[in-house]
A and B are shown apart, each in its own frame.
Chain A
């Protein structure tokens, strides 16, 4: 059996690993923390462990030394196999872990607050191991983890964005600027190659959402498209979604007048992640609910308009960066009206206004990271964020203030 002694860390090398096993949206929103850690420790290679299917997102991320793709499906198969052959299963797992990296890590940043993340922290740490990871966890990190748990549970008036809270968890201050991923240069299917290459106002429309409660109904999107194409002569809409959203895409297309269909590009279920990044990089605007592709689009340079409703909250998971817009529904109920004309006015630059039942927020960046402003922003918001940082990371807060 493999033992830790057989895989010593290379002498003199200090290495770090950041663990983020969440879905696409959270993975992309980890980028500010990744870049902030890299800025803080420029000489220490930082590896990223993430879900294997999502690894291509960060293939060209400069802040990341090496990607460690985690194959959850394989672990599920081993869980089934264990009783049949425990020894062989453990060996396979060891082989797998060895193949992921040559050494343990001096520092592991775990952004996942679940048992799996804690166990991974222990498996990849060179430090001593205990059952809850408490000994390993930095005193600086734990208060942030507790804070996030509290926010998730109580949903109070929190103004610290999740991406910045992750900076805090990693013991680094936010950089105060948005991270940018190089859009992948993936070849697109021939019929999609013209997207973004022709002149026009290109908008990527994210049709679905991982959480059913956050899905905008296809009828709403169809109305949005009709309105947008009717008012913006050179408007072009690119439908974005996974294979699961094909039916919704079809419904949207069917509800779009035939004359306008030539300006709607259906890419749903037809792209790899790299191709999706290429597509999003070619659209100056993206619109959608709080979803992975919306955040991915902001990371490759698009400006976002988000429809935030159900449990989605702009201050916690709004699009990261400067100049994005979010319509936040006033209650947690499903909206009965949508800011269609208002969001089109925003994208076309003709008008900037909220909608009945919806407040409008604009993203800005400062020393504490991103925040959202509805033009009534007072000093109190800034003070509230500063107070959280001072309470949870006093040393960092002092350096930010300085």
Chain B
């Protein structure tokens, strides 16, 4: 009998449908060749997916590097089939209470694998995952066990879309299930565009039930600005960088007061690389949401190895660039809106007169806007320009509001709500539309969340967020006057589109959605740490369920209300609160002893 027949017979006992599919598959995806050591190796599309010298040794090395991270009770999900050498090696290294599952994106490839090698009994202890990425993710999340995803890259990269879809579906599934409570330290910038986003992120995390400690460096903005008045450039830079260092240490000291589960920074947060490395040594988990165009602000190149997780709002080249700079984990996380703030408003007639217009734009006077906006003057419709940095804008001064003062969020919302057509032109230092239109700005989501109609310059990601029935975009600025004319004349259609866009934002593009995704991504990567917390493993009821045969511990935990996350320090505090004259049980003494050692590991400074 051929290898294929024997292997399929072995599979058929547990996976009859899979066996049937395999019999129907054609194969011919892999080219099998002998490696130097005589074992079969393989190429896919002309590229080796296993070593051409010794695939067994290569698989052993891979398994050795992965096995230490795998814990009892987890399901290890492997992306990349190859000839399954790596799966076999890992399965043999792990104890039986760790399940190993393999994703099968391509039945023809699996057919080739089963034809090339005779699988041993170990293969009976593998979960073979077939179907759409969404179905597989659903099955896995329904299992309720911690999941750890591993990738055997040489073999997985040929099915990158499948694996990407799977990971996204899994992340969403985990995010939906998340019920646990994290404590998150949120580190914001001293000033700048990412400062308001800190507030949105904080609210979102709290909405999700997490405890958030905002380490607010904007309190020091006045001092920082004052240093900016120094005329000597070297002195100015020296003082400002010293201040950033002090604030970095201040962050460290604050974290030491109450160590969180996650330190989440927003772009421009003053955390230096040495401090981040120190935090890493002390086992703090750090993440950065880099809500800036990576081409314009480039300090991430030095900081990339500092954070454990990076989240960026650009894809493709951006992700590659971060990885090349040393980022360990980098994921895509687009911008969003905060419906608490970005919402439809009832405005008085007076407010409508003041803040309203046929066409409005809110934003700073970047070069491309200065160059393009004069084309919006001298039309039958009204045009208002709001925002700062418009000095020397020539004709545009006639439509500039409030003398080009910076406007606050509340005013901004009134303008959005009072305007018939809000123009949303992404900034660029060039003279036309942004030539590298690979991200969508927060304004797009904010306008939509307000139920305000907008015309936005086309972005490559835009179709991922909004359909043509929800958002109108233009590919050249010449289209804008015509679009304004057309949509001004059809208020009902404008309203319908704006309402659809708002519905879409509320459904999928709020900061709550983004934070859920961000945490799920980290949880997926750390199933035994953040993942466990998100699953609710530290909630009182979950802890209780794990100590049913231990009455003394059970009675300790029952002193906490159901639904509350209970940590060692909480139990210790409860014991200490009994006072100095109470006779303690042995278990209570041991908990106090453990807590002494716990506090030692967080001795940051």
Q: Which residues of A contact B (CB under 8 A)?
A: 1-4, 72, 75-76, 78-80, 82-87, 89-90, 93-94, 97, 115-116, 119-120, 122-123, 128-132, 134
CA distance A2 to B549 in the complex (A): 13
Within 8 A of A (CB), among B290-318: none
Verify B583–A87 contact, CB threshold 8 A: no
Q: Which of B580, B596, B600 contacts A131 (CB 8 A)?
A: B580
Verify B537–A83 contact, CB threshold 8 A: yes
Q: Does B346 contact A (CB under 8 A)?
A: no
Verify B538–A1 contact, CB threshold 8 A: no
Chain B residues contacting A93 (CB-CB under 8 Å) are 590, 593-594
Verify B597–A119 contact, CB threshold 8 A: no
Q: A86-B543, A123-B590 are in contact. List 13 more A-B contacts (CB 8 A).
A: A1-B552, A76-B601, A79-B598, A83-B538, A83-B567, A90-B591, A115-B596, A116-B596, A122-B589, A129-B584, A130-B581, A130-B583, A131-B582
CA distance A128 to B589 in the complex (A): 12
30 pairs from A and B in contact (CB 8 Å cutoff): A1-B551, A4-B586, A76-B598, A76-B600, A76-B601, A79-B595, A80-B601, A83-B537, A83-B538, A86-B543, A86-B550, A86-B557, A87-B553, A90-B553, A90-B587, A90-B590, A90-B591, A97-B590, A115-B592, A119-B589, A119-B593, A123-B589, A128-B583, A129-B583, A129-B584, A129-B586, A130-B580, A131-B580, A131-B582, A131-B584
Known contacts being A84-B528, A87-B553, A119-B592, is A132 close to B580, with CB within 8 Å? yes
Verify B580–A87 contact, CB threshold 8 A: no
Verify A83–B587 contact, CB threshold 8 A: no
Least distance between B351 CB and chain A CB atoms (Å): 52
Q: Does B532 contact A (CB under 8 A)?
A: yes
Which secondary structure characterizes the binding site on chain B?
helix
Chain A residues contacting B402 (CB-CB under 8 Å) are none
Q: Does B578 contact A (CB under 8 A)?
A: yes
Verify A79–B553 contact, CB threshold 8 A: no
In chain A, what residue has the closest Cβ to B71?
A84
Chain A residues contacting B538 (CB-CB under 8 Å) are 83
In chain A, what residue has the closest Cβ to B601?
A76
In chain B, what residue has the closest Cβ to A81?
B594
Q: Does B568 contact A (CB under 8 A)?
A: yes
Chain A residues contacting B583 (CB-CB under 8 Å) are 128-130
In chain B, what residue has the closest Cβ to A76?
B597
Q: How many residues of B contact A (CB 8 A)?
A: 39
Q: Does B280 contact A (CB under 8 A)?
A: no
Verify A82–B594 contact, CB threshold 8 A: yes
Q: Does B576 contact A (CB under 8 A)?
A: yes
Chain A residues contacting B601 (CB-CB under 8 Å) are 76, 79-80
Q: Does B405 contact A (CB under 8 A)?
A: no
Verify A78–B550 contact, CB threshold 8 A: no
In chain B, what residue has the closest Cβ to A132?
B580
Verify B550–A87 contact, CB threshold 8 A: yes
Q: Which of B580, B586, B594 contacts A78 (CB 8 A)?
A: B594
Chain A residues contacting B551 (CB-CB under 8 Å) are 1
CA distance A93 to B550 in the complex (A): 14
Within 8 A of A (CB), among B404-463: none
Q: Does B547 contact A (CB under 8 A)?
A: yes
CA distance A227 to B74 in the complex (A): 65
Chain A residues contacting B532 (CB-CB under 8 Å) are 84
In chain A, what residue has the closest Cβ to B283?
A80
Chain A residues contacting B568 (CB-CB under 8 Å) are 79, 82-83
Least distance between B375 CB and chain A CB atoms (Å): 62
In chain B, what residue has the closest Cβ to A91?
B550
Least distance between A17 CB and chain B CB atoms (Å): 15
Least distance between B551 CB and chain A CB atoms (Å): 8
Verify B594–A75 contact, CB threshold 8 A: yes
Hey, what's the 0/1 contact readout for B317-358 against A, CB within 8 Å counting as 1?
000000000000000000000000000000000000000000
Least distance between A114 CB and chain B CB atoms (Å): 8
Most chain B CB atoms below 10 A, which of A3, A83, A116 = A83
Hey, what's the 0/1 contact readout for B569-583 against A, CB within 8 Å counting as 1?
000000110111111
Q: Does B231 contact A (CB under 8 A)?
A: no
Hey, what's the 0/1 contact readout for B2-27 against A, CB within 8 Å counting as 1?
00000000000000000000000000
CA distance A86 to B580 in the complex (A): 25
Most chain B CB atoms below 10 A, which of A72, A80, A94 = A80
In chain A, what residue has the closest Cβ to B529?
A84
Q: Does B378 contact A (CB under 8 A)?
A: no
In chain A, what residue has the closest Cβ to B72?
A85
Q: Does B234 contact A (CB under 8 A)?
A: no
CA distance A78 to B582 in the complex (A): 26
Within 8 A of A (CB), among B533-560: 537-538, 543, 546-547, 549-553, 557
Least distance between A123 CB and chain B CB atoms (Å): 5
Least distance between A80 CB and chain B CB atoms (Å): 7
Chain B residues contacting A84 (CB-CB under 8 Å) are 528, 532, 537
Least distance between B519 CB and chain A CB atoms (Å): 18
Chain B residues contacting A2 (CB-CB under 8 Å) are 586
CA distance A93 to B592 in the complex (A): 12
Q: Which 6 A-B pairs have the closest CB atoms?
A: A79-B598, A87-B547, A132-B580, A79-B597, A75-B597, A87-B550
Verify B586–A3 contact, CB threshold 8 A: yes
Least distance between B565 CB and chain A CB atoms (Å): 9
Least distance between A251 CB and chain B CB atoms (Å): 24
Verify A131–B586 contact, CB threshold 8 A: no
Verify A123–B567 contact, CB threshold 8 A: no
Verify B553–A122 contact, CB threshold 8 A: no
Verify A116–B593 contact, CB threshold 8 A: yes
Least distance between B114 CB and chain A CB atoms (Å): 38
Q: Which of B546, B566, B587, B594 contacts A79 (CB 8 A)?
A: B594
Known contacts being A79-B594, A119-B596, is A85 close to B546, with CB within 8 Å? yes
Most chain B CB atoms below 10 A, which of A72, A79, A87, A130 = A79
Chain A residues contacting B552 (CB-CB under 8 Å) are 1
Least distance between B532 CB and chain A CB atoms (Å): 7
CA distance A333 to B53 in the complex (A): 65
Least distance between A256 CB and chain B CB atoms (Å): 34
CA distance A3 to B550 in the complex (A): 12
Q: Which of A80, A120, A128, A131 contacts B579 (CB 8 A)?
A: A131
Most chain A CB atoms below 10 A, which of B581, B591, B593 = B593
Chain A residues contacting B594 (CB-CB under 8 Å) are 75, 78-79, 82, 89, 93
Least distance between A221 CB and chain B CB atoms (Å): 30
Known contacts being A75-B593, A128-B583, A129-B589, is A87 close to B600, with CB within 8 Å? no
CA distance A72 to B532 in the complex (A): 26
CA distance A181 to B63 in the complex (A): 50
Verify B592–A134 contact, CB threshold 8 A: no
CA distance A115 to B596 in the complex (A): 7
Least distance between B431 CB and chain A CB atoms (Å): 57
Chain A residues contacting B596 (CB-CB under 8 Å) are 115-116, 119
In chain B, what residue has the closest Cβ to A120?
B593
Verify B593–A131 contact, CB threshold 8 A: no
Least distance between B568 CB and chain A CB atoms (Å): 5
Least distance between B204 CB and chain A CB atoms (Å): 25
Q: Which of A4, A80, A123 contacts B593 (CB 8 A)?
A: A123
Verify B546–A130 contact, CB threshold 8 A: no
Chain A residues contacting B580 (CB-CB under 8 Å) are 130-132, 134
CA distance A94 to B590 in the complex (A): 9
Chain A residues contacting B584 (CB-CB under 8 Å) are 122, 129-131
Hey, what's the 0/1 contact readout for B164-197 against A, CB within 8 Å counting as 1?
0000000000000000000000000000000000
CA distance A364 to B273 in the complex (A): 53
Chain A residues contacting B597 (CB-CB under 8 Å) are 72, 75-76, 78-79
In chain B, what residue has the closest Cβ to A74?
B597
Chain B residues contacting A132 (CB-CB under 8 Å) are 580
In chain A, what residue has the closest Cβ to B576?
A131
Least distance between A313 CB and chain B CB atoms (Å): 26
Least distance between A353 CB and chain B CB atoms (Å): 43
Least distance between A91 CB and chain B CB atoms (Å): 8
Verify B586–A86 contact, CB threshold 8 A: no
Chain B residues contacting A120 (CB-CB under 8 Å) are 593
Least distance between A72 CB and chain B CB atoms (Å): 7
Least distance between A183 CB and chain B CB atoms (Å): 34
